[in-house]
Amino acid sequence: MGKVIYLKDFLKNQHGTLEGKVVVGSDVRPAQAVNLAITNRSLQVVTDGFDESLALKISENPDDFVRDPGEYLLGQDSNGIGSFQQKFFRQSKKDDFLFQIETYLKSGQHRRVRDDIYLIADELFTNFAKSSAEDSKTMVFGIENDKDTVMIYCRDQQGALDPHIMLQSIQRCYQQGVKASIRMDSKGGAGIGSFLMYSVSTGMAIIVEPGKHSMVLLWMPRKAHHEDRVDMNKNLFVISGKGE
């Protein structure tokens, strides 16, 4: 896993598979990145100047990336902004969880990303807590910064997340529109949460090792307005292990 392929070369030759590859393209649109990830089980799409050697390093060390994603994605200088981490369980109260995040996000340094991080935290908490198999299993939610970027992640030690379901719901929103993609007759999720998170970010990573861990991670430039980030291309990493 982890060989670098240039998308324009692949599209010209249409030879081989992108599975397990780092796919490098310029101006890869958000919907296209999702389409590539759906048709190839595990791959990383990097665009708009993202360091492909970093993507390669992540693909070769997924367990270490899950353990400490900031070590890979963030610079040393946090600009004095502290990080946040909160453990939670299936039975944890979402209101208490979100209150902690709201307090943390009061910093002016987060003013342009505050509402989006709050939404991401809400969606990740709901999805991880709902899909947790046991009351005793811990999940960890975190926010970390460097001087330019804020990174938000949620991980568990269960490894039951299916990246394909997330990607398909994102793809549906791009293809049909958000309103048409909403599961109106469901008492469960609305089916658009993953799209909302992906839209407001400039990078998303879904890492799953069945029976071991799952992580959903998003990152974005802290100084970019919401409405600009929605229009930006996304780097998308999907690394799905085969389990034991």
Partner 1 sequence: MSFTIKKEEKDGKPFLIFSGAIDEEADFPQFGPLGPEVIVDLKEVQSINSVGIRSWLIWFTDQKETLFIFEGCPKAVVMQMNMVEGFLPEKSKVHSMVMPFYCEKCDKEIDRLFEVGKQILIQGEDVEVKFDASQICEPGCEPELDINKAKYLRFLVRLEQQNQAA
What is the residue type of 89? F
| Cβ-based nearer residue to partner 1, 109 or 145 | 109
| Cβ-based nearer residue to partner 1, 6 or 118 | 118
Print the binding letters for residues 195-214 with partner 1: x by CB under 8 A, - otherwise. -x--x---------------
119 binds partner 1 (CB under 8 A): yes
Scan residues 219-238 and list those touching partner 1 (CB under 8 A). Answer: 225-228, 230-231
Q: What distances in angstroms separate CA 175 from CA 29, 180, 222, one per listed residue?
A: 13, 9, 28
The answer to whether 222 and 78 are in contact (CB under 8 A) is no
CB of 159 to partner 1, least distance (A): 24
Tokens of 153: 């992640």
Q: Which of 118, 162, 168, 212 binds partner 1 (CB under 8 A)?
A: 118
Contacts of 94 (CB under 8 A, 6+ apart): 122, 125, 126, 129
Scan residues 129-188 and list those touching partner 1 (CB under 8 A). Answer: 177-179, 182-184
What is the C-alpha to C-alpha distance for residues 70 and 218, in angstroms, rounded to an integer?
11
| Cβ-based nearer residue to partner 1, 123 or 144 | 123
What is the C-alpha to C-alpha distance for residues 88 and 101, in angstroms, rounded to an integer?
13
Q: Are strands 21-25 and 43-47 parallel, antiparallel or unpaired?
A: parallel
CB of 206 to partner 1, least distance (A): 17
The answer to whether 151 and 70 are in contact (CB under 8 A) is yes
| Cβ-based nearer residue to partner 1, 4 or 98 | 98
Q: Which residues bind partner 1 (CB under 8 A)?
A: 95, 98, 108, 111-112, 115-116, 118-119, 122-123, 126, 177-179, 182-184, 189-193, 196, 199, 225-228, 230-231
